[in-house]
Chain A
Amino acid sequence: MAFDVRLRINDKVATIELKGELDASTAGEFHETVGKAAGAGAVELVIRAEQLGYLSSAGLRSLVFARQKMGDGVRIAVVGASEPVARTIRLAGFDHSIDLVDA
Chain B
Amino acid sequence: MTFDFTTAEALRTAEASRPAGAAEAAGVAKAPGCGRTNALRIPASVESLEPVSAFVLGLGDRAGLTESSLYRLRLAADELATNIVMHGYRGEPGEITVDGGIDPDEVWVRFQDDAPAFDPRQGMRAPQLDVPLEERPIGGLGVFLAFTAVDTFEYELVAGRNVSTLVMRRPTAD
Q: Which of A's residues lie within 8 Å of B, judged by CB? A: 1, 21, 23-25, 54, 56-58, 60-61, 63-64, 67-68, 83-84, 88, 91-94, 96-98
B78 interface residue per 8 A CB criterion: yes
Q: Within B111-162, which residues are at the interface with A (CB < 8 Å)? A: 127-129, 132-134, 136, 138, 141-142, 144-145, 148
* Contacting residues, chain A, for B47 (C-beta < 8 A): 25
Distance, CA A64 to CA B133, complexed state (A):
6
B133: shortest Cβ distance to chain A, in Å? 4
In the complex where A67-B133, A67-B134, A94-B133 touch, is A88 in contact with B145 (Cβ < 8 A)?
yes
A103: shortest Cβ distance to chain B, in Å? 15
Interface residues of chain B: helix, strand, loop or mixed (majority): helix
* Contacting residues, chain A, for B132 (C-beta < 8 A): 97
Q: Within B62-96, which residues are at the interface with A (CB < 8 Å)? A: 68, 71-72, 74-75, 78-79, 82, 85-86
Mind listing 25 A-B residue pairs with CB under 8 Å?
A21-B53, A23-B49, A23-B53, A25-B46, A25-B47, A25-B50, A56-B82, A57-B145, A60-B138, A61-B141, A63-B133, A64-B136, A64-B138, A83-B68, A84-B71, A84-B75, A91-B127, A91-B145, A92-B144, A92-B145, A93-B128, A93-B133, A94-B127, A94-B133, A97-B132
Are B136 and A56 within 8 A (Cβ)?
A: no
* Contacting residues, chain A, for B49 (C-beta < 8 A): 23-25
- Interchain Cβ contacts within 8 Å, total number: 72
B166: shortest Cβ distance to chain A, in Å? 15
Q: Which of B's residues lie within 8 Å of A, judged by CB? A: 46-47, 49-50, 53, 68, 71-72, 74-75, 78-79, 82, 85-86, 127-129, 132-134, 136, 138, 141-142, 144-145, 148
Are A96 and B78 within 8 A (Cβ)?
A: no
Are A56 and B68 within 8 A (Cβ)?
A: no
* Contacting residues, chain B, for A57 (C-beta < 8 A): 79, 82, 141-142, 145
In the complex where A93-B127, A97-B133 touch, is A1 in contact with B145 (Cβ < 8 A)?
no
Tell me which of A1, A68, A92, A98 contacts B141 (CB under 8 A). Answer: A92
* Contacting residues, chain B, for A94 (C-beta < 8 A): 127, 133
In the complex where A61-B138, A64-B138 touch, is A1 in contact with B53 (Cβ < 8 A)?
yes
* Contacting residues, chain B, for A88 (C-beta < 8 A): 75, 145
Distance, CA A55 to CA B49, complexed state (A):
13
Are B68 and A93 within 8 A (Cβ)?
A: no
Are A56 and B50 within 8 A (Cβ)?
A: no
* Contacting residues, chain B, for A97 (C-beta < 8 A): 132-134
Are A64 and B134 within 8 A (Cβ)?
A: yes
* Contacting residues, chain B, for A56 (C-beta < 8 A): 75, 78-79, 82, 142, 145
